[in-house]
Amino acid sequence: MMSGARMFLGLLLVLTALLVPAPVLGAADETPDLPHEEWMAIFLQGQRVGYVHGNAWREEDVVVSRTRTKLTLRRYGTDVTMRMEALFRERVDGTPLSFSTMQKTSGMEIRTEGTISDGTLNLVITQGGRRREKAVEWDAETLFPYAIEQKTRALELERGAEFTVKAFSPEVSTTEPVEVTLTVIGPEAVDVLGVTHDAIKVEMRISKLPNIVETTWVDSDHNVLVMTMPLMDFRLVRCTKAYALAKVEPAELAAAVMVKPDKPLPRVAKLKRLVVKLSMVDGSPFAVELPSEGHQRVVERTKESTTIEISPALTKTEEKDLEQYLAASTYVDCEDERIIAAAREAVGDETDPWRKAQRLRRAVHELIDEKSFGVAMGGASEVIETKEGDCTEHAVLLAAMARVEGLPSRGVSGLMYIYGRFGYHMWTQVYVDGAWRDVDAVLPGRDFDAGHIRLSTSALGDDDSLVDLAAFAAVFGNLKIEVVEREYVGQKEEE
């Protein structure tokens, strides 16, 4: 039931969209290199798992840039393929006009279209045959791929040179730009599919993912040769079309999404209270800010580690803006008639908020009768139809059904103890009587247990559904968990 693969897939989509450069273009008044096409192979743990195909062309005074991405990962022997396409239209002078994106995973498809006019971004989001529209203010400093390419090509490739730009990435947010900073490190040779090339090393930082540093090697003409990031040795490498489209061997994520603590937690279903110390395997600072909220409380925080307690005791939280936790979104479509009917049937004549949440949790566990790793990032509307999924699908469907019943809800990204290890996981929180209460629809006979470590939360709205990946990215593959104290029902054991 682990959602580590889902979060990793989401992170790869975001980073791929941000890291892949616009196709190499010429001067704004000439564009001599159009039409243009390039291919890059995606590697994970040394294995080729997919490709990125970028091309661009000119239609009168409009430049169209398109990027297509395909990658396949393996979760416990089940392959999950994700496809993404992004198309941007902007004038030759860099004025953004419109964009569209398509994301498809295991048959589930989400499309987003946006048009910029008179300082307003008009959005249309389509998922599962349902269409949602909204309009937001457009940041005039935000640039599309062609304009960004022109500015980055003007960057002097000298050690210490730096450049910051506001980029539009609908994979991160459909309403706010992402701030991207490039810093030139200096000359450095790089291997490109077995051939050594003279190159210039450049580092990139993304405002929405502050713990991720992406490294790029470019040639003297600013052409990208290799891009990397530390998560599971992720690499993009320039290649030919034939090489990019050749058969891939998916990387298995099972081991990567599991963390073995220093001491076991037997009888986790009876675990009432748990105190653990979180730190980084490599000794680097523990950069995730964990608040005291709901069933989790920070006991001690240092630069190197954070010690937390998970117990039945609740920490009250004054939430002034509950609207975002009640609103419909692409993933939490609480306006779907099927979800409304399922929620009403589950709750019946119950009026107590917490007992409502408990009934909904049990209903979701029973509704999703095929516990499958073959689905990734499915929205509530798809889940209510297919009745299939892992922890992610349980979490979003429970969040949607809770909102139907007037219970503010949000998603939680973290880890759950199972089979002797902590696996990356997702569950739901509902806001009841001034506190966030954890409810995990994956669990068969209980609402929650202390074997859950929360890293971050998300309202699961259209603007923040992937921002919670920042905490995940900060610790993935580098997390150390030490058991400080355990308390079971009717018994206490201190370590």
Q: What tens digit of pLDDT does each residue of 349-402 get?
A: 999 999 999 999 999 999 987 655 545 566 888 888 888 877 888 999 999 999
Q: Are 379 and 127 in contact (CB under 8 A)?
A: yes
Q: What percent of the chain has pLDDT over 90?
A: 50
Q: Which helix (H) or strand (E) element contains residue 364?
A: helix 353-367
Of 44-58, 205-219, 366-380, the one with minimum mean pLDDT is: 366-380
Highest mean pLDDT of the ranges 24-28, 146-150, 201-205: 201-205
Residue with the bigger pLDDT between 23 and 153: it is 153
User: Per-residue pLDDT tens for 423-469?
Assistant: 888 999 999 999 999 999 999 888 899 999 999 898 988 766 544 66
The rounded mean pLDDT for the chain is 85
Q: State the CB neighbour count (10 A cutoff) for residue 362.
A: 17
Give the pLDDT confidence score for residue 21 in this predicted structure.
45
The two structure tokens encoding residue 459: 């309202």
Instruction: Name 197's Cβ contacts closer than 8 Å, sequence gap at least 6.
Output: 189, 190, 191, 217, 219, 225
Of 67-71, 244-248, 463-467, 481-485, the one with minimum mean pLDDT is: 463-467
Residue with the bigger pLDDT between 278 and 154: it is 278
Give the pLDDT confidence score for residue 25 in this predicted structure.
33
Give the pLDDT confidence score for residue 7 in this predicted structure.
55
User: Per-residue pLDDT tens for 330-354?
Assistant: 889 899 999 999 999 999 999 999 9
The residue among 103, 154, 116, 44 whose CA lies nearest residue 378 is 103
What CA–CA distances, in Å, run from 185 to 196, 203, 221, 230? 18, 7, 16, 17
The two structure tokens encoding residue 110: 């989400």
Q: State the CB neighbour count (10 A cutoff) for residue 120.
A: 12
Of 24-33, 66-75, 243-252, the one with minimum mean pLDDT is: 24-33
Average pLDDT (471-494) is: 81
CA dihedral 8, 306, 394, 437 (to 10 degrees): -160
Average pLDDT (75-100) is: 88
Domains of the chain as residue ranges with CATH: 4-252 (no CATH), 258-494 (3.10.620.30)
**What is the 8-class DSSP label of residue 390?**
S
DSSP string, 84-152: EEEEEEEETT--EEEEEEEEEETTEEEEEEEEEETTEEEEEEEETTEEEEEEEE--TT-B-HHHHHHHH
Q: State the CB neighbour count (10 A cutoff) for residue 304.
A: 12
| Integer Cα distance of 495 and 318 in angstroms | 34
